Each structure stands twice: as C-alpha cells, then as structure tokens.
C-alpha cells in the first residue's frame, strides 16, 4: 500500500482525497518509481478542483511531474536505484501521475536526473521551468539574441514566467516582466528583470499594430494578452506561446505577421521528444542558479495540495509549488 492523492467521479460528482492505494492498482509500465517530490501546476489545480476536464479517465492520480528513484524496472536504461525525472506525457490526465508515493510509467516517459540538481530542485523547476527552457531555446533558434532588443515575459511571477525571466537574464537579455501583481516587483527584479509592466497595460483590446517594443516574447497567457504582445513586436520578432491562462482565443489580426514578419512559435512540453527534453534540462543545469531556484520554491505536503489548488487558479501563488511526497532526497 502507498499514499496518494486520488481523483474520482461518481454520478457526475468529482471528489479528491489523499488515501491509501494498492500497488496492484498502478497502471502498466516498465518502470516503477518511488516518488520523492512532485509539483502542483496550473493543470494539476484544474484537475483537482474539476474546473476544467483535464482528467480523461477515472480514478486518476494527478501530478504532471515527479522526481524519484527507480524501484523496479524491466528496461535496461533505468536500473533500480537510478534517479529519474518525468514531465508531461499525459500523466495526471490519462495515466496516473506524480502525487503519490509510487508511480509506474513507460520507460520512454523518463529521463535521468540532471546534475547538479537534487530531486527536490528538479521539481522546483518541474514542467513549468522545463517549458520555460524550451521557450528560451526556441527564441535562440529563431535568431533572437540579446543585441536584437528587449524580451517580454508574461505571467512573470508564475512558474513558467519566473524561470524564463531568470534564464533570459542570465543569458544577457534585457527582460521586461509582465505581472498582475505589481507588489512582486522586487521578486522579479531579483530574478533579473529590468522592467516591470502591469498586466492591465496589455490586457485590453488594442490596435492591430502597436509601437514596436520587443524583439522576443515568452507568453503564458494567450487571449488578448498574446494578441497585444504580437502587435507590439519589433520587425521579425519572435513570440513563443506556451500557455492559456488568460484564454484559449487569439483576438488578433494577421498584421504583425505579414507586415512585420513576426513569428508565433508554439511550444509543446507535454509530448516533446526526448532529445528536446534533455537539451532543455541541460540548459537549466548550466544556467539556472540553484540559489535563484530556491527563491522560486515553496514546499508543501501531499495533504496540502487539495486546499492550495484554488489559490493557484486564482493567481495567488508566486513561483513554484513543490510537493514533498516521499522521504526527502
């Protein structure tokens, strides 16, 4: 038996509770992992609260991330005792995820824990930080270098945004951080942001083309915010889109794309191939200061997760929520 957070649905009513689970109920997979840490992400909070149909099959253990130690394996790539990380792949949606002491997954879902990170630090990064790294790498592949001009990050105080600010600042970019919580300005400047922009400035409908401001962008918001960011990009600017916190719609025109040559690059972290994942984690290992990482992390227990989920959806959480699931590692 092992402890886990289980979401179930009976007669149309969803419930979420921490309970004892039978190991025989684990899904199929080549590798069984003793989970040390998981995370609480926006998608996890949607699943736990039932506010969006994230969970595709019930019962379900949420948690789109985990880090821990291999307990049993039928794949030679991951021997018992190896430390591993999982991000995405639909866990917590169609396959039991990381908010439990044990997880069983296909071997292809896993990558080795990257030095110098501990499992706790890896979950301080989690899918959010790994997604931020994918965004930064995409900007670089598209030719956005620090000399091209400033880069804007929306949702900068959240999990993706805060890591994106830190990585971009470390790489020498002039970073403008957009947040709906201007009281966290000191936190963002501490991560390396040079400018703080109130989200209200870019959340209302604007012109098809605005004054050119940014050479690059990392957007977690979608909706009107993304439309306004696109409208204010410099000639041949690049926008990486990785979230929909402000809406799934895109009330924009083609003007930025055909008149300024702006590129809108979609970032998918869930099904990204293993080489891309390893490159992102290697970039994080090289450029994300662990002292900065500690500033982003707020540790909670498995029992705390259900109560905190609504606060995460309400935008009341700063940085990264790390969930201590098993023994500290």
Mean pLDDT of all residues in 39-65:
92
C-alpha to C-alpha distance for 222 and 155, rounded to whole angstroms: 10
Residues 6+ apart with CB under 8 A from 11: none
Domain boundaries, the chain: 2-113+289-324, 127-266
Please give the torsion angle defined by the CA atoms of residues 298, 302, 306 and 308, in that order, rounded to the nearest 10 degrees. Answer: -10
Question: Per-residue pLDDT for 79 more than 50?
Answer: yes
Residue 116's pLDDT is: 92
pLDDT value, residue 202:
95
Q: What is the pLDDT of residues 186-235, one digit of tens each?
A: 999 999 999 999 999 999 999 999 999 999 999 999 999 999 999 999 99
Give all strands (DSSP E) within the chain, no chain letters.
Answer: 2-10, 13-21, 31-40, 65-73, 83-87, 102-105, 110-112, 151-153, 175-179, 195-198, 214-219, 233-241, 263-266, 297-301, 320-324
Confidence at 255, pLDDT banded by 50, 70, 90: very high
- Whether the pLDDT of residue 31 is over 80: the answer is yes
Please name the residues in contact with 278: beta carbons below 8 A apart, sequence gap of 6 or more. 111
- What architecture (CATH level 2) is domain 127-266? 3-Layer(aba) Sandwich (3.40)
Same fold: 2-113+289-324 with 127-266:
no
Whole-number pLDDT of residue 329:
47
- Residue 328 predicted with pLDDT over 70: no
pLDDT at 53: 86
Task: Give the residue among 85, 112, 106, 119 at the shortest CA–CA distance from 31.
Answer: 106
Question: In Å, how far are 152, 168, 178, 193, 219 from 161, measured between CA atoms?
Answer: 10, 10, 9, 11, 8
- 132 vs 280: CA distance, rounded Å: 9
Q: How far is the C-alpha of 325 from the C-alpha of 100, rounded, in Å?
A: 6
Q: What is the mean pLDDT of residues 21-46?
A: 95
Confidence of residue 181 (pLDDT cuts 50, 70, 90): confident
pLDDT at 245: 82
DSSP state of 28: P
pTM of the model: 0.90
For 2-113+289-324, CATH number? 3.90.180.10
Res. 158: pLDDT tops 90: no
Output the pLDDT for position 319: 74
| Nearest of 129, 96, 197, 159 to residue 313 by alpha carbon | 159
Average pLDDT taken over every residue of the chain: 94
Residue 157 has pLDDT above 50, yes or no: yes
Q: Give the phi and the psi of residue 18 in degrees, each rounded to 5.
A: -90, 125
**What confidence tens digit (pLDDT) does each residue in 270-322 have?**
999 999 999 999 999 999 988 888 888 999 999 999 999 999 988 888 778 99
* CA separation for the pair 178, 164 (Å, rounded): 12
pLDDT of 258 > 60? The answer is yes
Residue 263: predicted pLDDT: 98
- Per residue in 124-156, pLDDT (tens digit) is 999 989 999 999 999 999 999 999 999 999 999
Q: 291, 280, 294: which is closest to 132 by C-alpha?
A: 280
């Amino acid at each position: 038996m092992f402890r886990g957070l289980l979401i179930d649905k009976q007669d149309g009513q969803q419930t979420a509770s921490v309970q004892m689970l039978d190991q025989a109920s684990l899904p199929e997979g080549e590798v069984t992992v003793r989970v040390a840490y998981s995370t609480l992400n926006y998608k996890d909070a949607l699943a736990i609260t039932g506010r969006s149909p994230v969970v595709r099959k019930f019962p379900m253990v949420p948690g789109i991330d985990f880090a821990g130690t291999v307990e049993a394996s039928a794949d030679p790539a991951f021997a018992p005792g190896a430390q591993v990380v999982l991000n995405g792949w639909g866990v917590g949606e169609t396959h039991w995820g990381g908010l439990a002491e044990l997880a069983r997954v296909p071997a292809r879902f896993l990558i080795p824990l990257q030095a110098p990170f501990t499992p706790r630090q890896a979950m301080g990064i989690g899918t959010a930080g790994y997604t931020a790294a994918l965004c930064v790498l995409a900007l670089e592949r598209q030719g956005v270098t620090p000399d091209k001009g400033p880069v804007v990050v929306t949702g900068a105080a959240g999990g993706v945004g805060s890591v994106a600010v830190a990585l971009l600042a470390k790489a020498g970019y002039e970073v403008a951080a957009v947040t709906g919580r201007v009281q966290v300005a000191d936190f963002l400047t501490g991560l390396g942001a040079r400018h703080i922009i109130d989200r209200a400035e870019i959340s209302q409908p604007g012109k098809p083309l605005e004054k050119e401001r940014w050479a690059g962008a990392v957007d977690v918001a979608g909706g009107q915010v993304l439309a306004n960011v696109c409208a204010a990009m410099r000639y041949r600017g690049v926008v990486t889109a990785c979230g929909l916190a402000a809406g799934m719609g895109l009330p924009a025109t083609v003007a930025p794309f055909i008149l300024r040559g702006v590129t809108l690059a979609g970032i998918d972290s869930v099904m990204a191939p293993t080489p891309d994942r390893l490159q992102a984690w290697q970039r994080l290992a090289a450029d994300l200061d662990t002292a900065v990482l500690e500033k982003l992390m707020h540790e909670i227990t498995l029992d705390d997760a259900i109560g905190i989920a609504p606060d995460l959806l309400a935008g009341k959480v700063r940085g990264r929520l790390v969930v201590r699931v098993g023994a500290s590692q």
